Amino acid sequence: MHMQISERAERFLRAKIGSKSSPVRLVFDGEGCGCGINGIPALWILSAQDEYDKEIHSNGIPFVIHPAHAIYFEENLYLDSEENYPSFRLSGDSQLYGQNIRLLDQRET
């Protein structure tokens, strides 16, 4: 799997991650969405990746995905953001996954 990150999205991610080298997990968040095929894409900042996470090759930020979530996404993904809007746009070669993808900080405090 590959993730092409725009310069704007990378700046925004780095500002949220801070100085630590935390990975970002791409998830298909189905919590509270009903059955298993309903859900929305989300990005989670992690303290560390899980043993089952697989690396998503990217041009900057380290991204990972759990294999159970990978089936919901295409092989080539593109992440962008708006200059003054705190969310992301995620697309693939054949579809738009969302224009308001949220970034949640899941690191332990």
| CATH code linked to domain 2-105 | 2.60.300.12
- How would you class 70 by CB atoms within 10 Å of its CB: exposed for 0-12, middle for 13-18, buried for 19 or more? middle
pLDDT tens-digit series, residues 23-49: 999 999 766 555 556 678 999 999 999
Q: Global pTM?
A: 0.87
Q: Which of 34-43, 46-55, 56-65, 70-79 has the lowest mean pLDDT?
A: 34-43
For the chain, domain boundaries: 2-105
- How would you class 109 by CB atoms within 10 Å of its CB: exposed for 0-12, middle for 13-18, buried for 19 or more? exposed
Predicted confidence at residue 32, as pLDDT, reads: 55
